Structure formats: C-alpha cells, structure tokens
Amino acid sequence: MASLSSPTRSRPAFDVEAVRRDFPALQQQVNGHPLVYLDNAATTQKPLPVLEALRGYYERDCANIHRSIHQLGERATEAFEHTRLVAQRFLGAGSAREIVFTAGATAGLNLVAQTFGRMRVGSGDEVLITAMEHHSNIVPWQMLCQEKGARLAVVPINDAGELIWEALEERLTPRTRLLAVTHVSNALGTINPLRQIVAAAHARQIPVVVDGAQAVAHMPVSVAELDCDFYAFSGHKIYGPTGVGVLYGKSEWLERMPPWQGGGDMIRSVSFEGTTYNRVPYKFEAGTPHIAGVIALAAALEYALRLDPAAAAGHEDGLRALAAERLAAIPGVRLIGTAPQKVGVLSFVIEGIHPHDVSTLLDQQGIAVRAGHHCAQPLMERYGVAATSRASLAAYNTRQEIEALAAGVAQVKEMLG
C-alpha cells in the first residue's frame, strides 16, 4: 500500500484511449480495417467540442459580428472575440490585439509579405528563408522579391535535415531585411532552434517571421519566449476547422503596417475622398470572416491545452521513436529527416517502390499516409527524390497503429518487390 499511496511527482500516464473517444472520425473502418490515420501533418481529425461549437453557432448564434445590434449578433461577436483571448493565451502573446484571424497559415504569411514585407523590402535587399520551407513560406517571398527587385537567399540544411548554423549566420547580412523560417519542417519533422535563430537575427536588427503550422499541435509555444516578430498557424492542423488561422504580430509592427485587403470591418469611415482604417487587429480583417470556424478554433485550442501539450508531446515522441525504429528495420527503407530534435513526422522512401504505390496499398489496409512532395519541392530535390511517403502523428495515435504501419510497409514490399 505504501508504494501505491506514496506521493510521486510522476505525471499520470497519457490516456490515449480516452482521447480517441473524443474523435468520431477515428471510430470508422476503411477498406475493411480500422482506420489508422497517420496524415496529421496534412490535417488533423476534429474532436467533439469542435464539432459542437460549429453546430452551435449555426444552430443558435448565427449572425454577423461587430455590427448586429441584436441578441444573436451579440452572442456571435462575444464568442468570436473570446477566441482572440484563447489564442492570445495559447501563444503567450502580450495582448489580444496582437492576434489577427486569417484563413490559415498561408494567408497569414501572405499578409505579412504583402504589408510588412512591402514596406520593408526594397531594390537590392535580401529576404532570407531556409531550404526546408513549405511552398507557402517560399512563394510569397519570391513574389515580393520579384516585385521589389530584391533577392531571395536560402539557408541550406545538412543531411539529417537541420539548418547549418554557420550558413545561417553568414546569410544574415546588412542587406537582409527579414528572415522567414518554419518552426517545424512539414516534410522532415525537424524542430528548428527558434530562440537562437531569433536572437541571432535580432542581434542584427532583422525581424523574424515564423511559419508555425506544424509546431502548434505538437509542443507548447510561447511567442513571448521566442521573441519572434510574427507567428502564423492554421486551425485545422490543431484539431480545429479548415479555413481559419491565426497570425500573431508584435503590436509595434502591426500598428505601422498598412492594411492588406480592403472591405467591410477593416474601416473606421469611408468616403469617396478617402478612408480611415479601423484599429489593430481589425484593420487586417476585411469582410465577413469564417465566424463559425473562429468560434470553433477556441474549442480546438482549449482542447489542445486540456490534453496537456507537454504530456501529449511526450506520448507522440514515444510513438515517433518506435516508428523510426520499426521502419528503419525494414530492408530497403530509408528515413528522410533524422534530426535529433524532431516531431512525429516520418518521411521515408522504399527502394524501387514509388510513394504513390505505397499510399494506395497502405490505404487498402486502412492506413492513411501522405505521398508526394509535401509542397516542398526544393527540399525533395535536396534529397534527390521526387517524392516520399510520410506518416505524421497526432496525440490520438497509438503504438498498435505504429505496428500496423510497419507491418503494412513490409507487406507493400512483398506485394511490389
């Protein structure tokens, strides 16, 4: 009895079965097998509180926000603005005014490129990105550089999939006007040392824009600690709805930035002679937003916080280690992205078998993985592959599912080998 009742500081085991019960989509069979959903870096499944929030808005509180002087409008506005407070707390931002709602991480990055980028970058300047960026953190900067006659510089990575630190420091030059970097690589899983990166950039007065799309669901994030200037993420990759996301920006920048899109809600007054803009953050939120999505995003972020991000991260890390071990043990399987600091993203290639064939055959066994270039074509080129298969984890995945993946991959080899 003594051992049972003795106070310990150990955390109660992460109850993955309880978590799974919150996700209706995980309860289904696919091609005659229980669904093994390992495509979480593409999008996560949604828990009941998120589904209920979406339904609740459309069923009870459906009204436009910030303008309807009636009961439903007040409820919708209150719920919408509640998400801003939740997102502020979730990201550790200093003020809710630093939270801008967007359509997703891509929209957030484009917003920064088209406002902050355009006011900051000029002819002959440089914008610095890295070799592991998603297309959404490459193309907006390429477009900006083309428009301004600026140059896009790229920090290379090593074979394990980590940024080469000396190369990063070398490329932070007096011409560098901003650094755009991902927190976590969507194709490799690498976690970048953001605090050090931001410190190195800030030491040279270079602001840092962070793509947080692949990070927020897998680790606690504090923009105050990171000290980054912008941080963008998508709701749907952290158990929330598609079509909605958050852009954090330091208020000192947001105040000085011009608006992005013009329209309703972002104005204070409009005449044909000119327009005065609404205050931050509303001047960046033109038009009727995805109200239901924003409201349900609060449910998603609160759900993630309730899971205990540190416990969930520990659970996922155990699965990642198991998956890496099992996959590497299969002859002919090569893992791409082997950084010591990484989340549960397992990119792999099987010698002589194309990732598309792998996906189709795994799907026959109810296992969902992604095949392709993962919107990171320059990265695929770096590794000399056209595409990879990618299994990506979430808090609701289990050890049995990892074993099913490994058995499935071995079976694919048998079928096509």
Partner 1 sequence: MPDWRELYQELILDHNRRPRNFRRPPAANREAQGFNTLCGDRIVLYLDLRDGIIADIGFQGAGCAISTASASLLTERLKGRTAAEAEALFRRMHALLTGVSEPAEGQPELGKLEALSGVAEFPTRVKCATLAWHTLHAALAGSQAMVSTEE
* Residues with catalytic function: 375
Q: Is the CB of residue 43 less than 8 Å from the CB of residue 242?
A: yes
Backbone angles phi, psi at 265, to 5 degrees: 75, -20
Q: Is the CB of residue 259 less than 8 Å from the CB of residue 281?
A: no
Out of 235, 281, 293, 372, point to the residue binding partner 1 (CB under 8 A): 372
Nearest distance, CB of residue 131 and partner 1, angstroms = 17
Which of 207, 128, 209 minimizes the C-alpha distance to 172? Answer: 128
* 354 is a contact residue toward partner 1 (CB under 8 A): yes
* 71 is a contact residue toward partner 1 (CB under 8 A): no
Per DSSP, the residues of 14-73 read: P-HHHHHHT-GGGG-EETTEE-EE-BTTT-----HHHHHHHHHHHHT----SSS--SHHH
Is the CB of 156 or the CB of 417 nearer to partner 1? Answer: 417
Q: How far is CA 130 from CA 167, 180, 210, in A?
A: 10, 8, 11
Is the CB of 107 or the CB of 376 nearer to partner 1? Answer: 376
Out of 256, 279, 356, 399, point to the residue binding partner 1 (CB under 8 A): 356
Is the CB of 224 or the CB of 386 nearer to partner 1? Answer: 386
Out of 31, 261, 276, 400, point to the residue binding partner 1 (CB under 8 A): 31
Residue with tokens 């390429």: 142
* 416 is a contact residue toward partner 1 (CB under 8 A): yes
* 409 is a contact residue toward partner 1 (CB under 8 A): no
- The binding track of 300-339 with respect to partner 1, each residue x by CB under 8 A or -, is ----------------------------------------
Cα 131–135–140 angle (5° rounding)? 105
CA distance 93 to 126: 28
Nearest distance, CB of residue 417 and partner 1, angstroms = 9
Nearest distance, CB of residue 352 and partner 1, angstroms = 8
Give the three-class secondary structure for 180.
strand
* 351 is a contact residue toward partner 1 (CB under 8 A): no
* 33 is a contact residue toward partner 1 (CB under 8 A): no
Candidate segments 202-210, 305-313, 367-375, 396-404, binder of partner 1 by CB under 8 A: 367-375
Give the gyration radius of the chain's Cα atoms.
22
Out of 105, 180, 345, 380, point to the residue binding partner 1 (CB under 8 A): 380
Per DSSP, the residues of 320-351 read: HHHHHHHHHTSTTEEEE---SSB-SEEEEEET
Nearest distance, CB of residue 415 and partner 1, angstroms = 7
Is the CB of 17 or the CB of 414 nearer to partner 1? Answer: 414
Out of 304, 387, 405, 406, point to the residue binding partner 1 (CB under 8 A): 387
* 369 is a contact residue toward partner 1 (CB under 8 A): no
Residue with tokens 């709701």: 235
Task: Return the structure tokens found at 300.
Answer: 């998603």
Nearest distance, CB of residue 354 and partner 1, angstroms = 4
Out of 168, 208, 371, 409, point to the residue binding partner 1 (CB under 8 A): 371
Candidate segments 63-71, 236-244, 307-315, 368-376, binder of partner 1 by CB under 8 A: 368-376
CA 353 distance to own-chain centroid: 29
* 32 is a contact residue toward partner 1 (CB under 8 A): yes
* 353 is a contact residue toward partner 1 (CB under 8 A): yes
- The binding track of 118-157 with respect to partner 1, each residue x by CB under 8 A or -, is ----------------------------------------
Contacts of 333 by beta carbon, 8 Å cutoff, 6+ apart: 327, 348, 349, 350, 351, 409
Q: How many amino acids of this chain bind partner 1 (CB under 8 A)?
A: 19
Count of Cβ atoms closer than 10 Å to residue 249 Cβ: 29
Contacts of 117 by beta carbon, 8 Å cutoff, 6+ apart: 127, 140, 141, 144, 178
Binding footprint of partner 1 on the chain (CB under 8 A)? 31-32, 353-357, 360-361, 364, 371-373, 377, 380, 386-387, 415-416
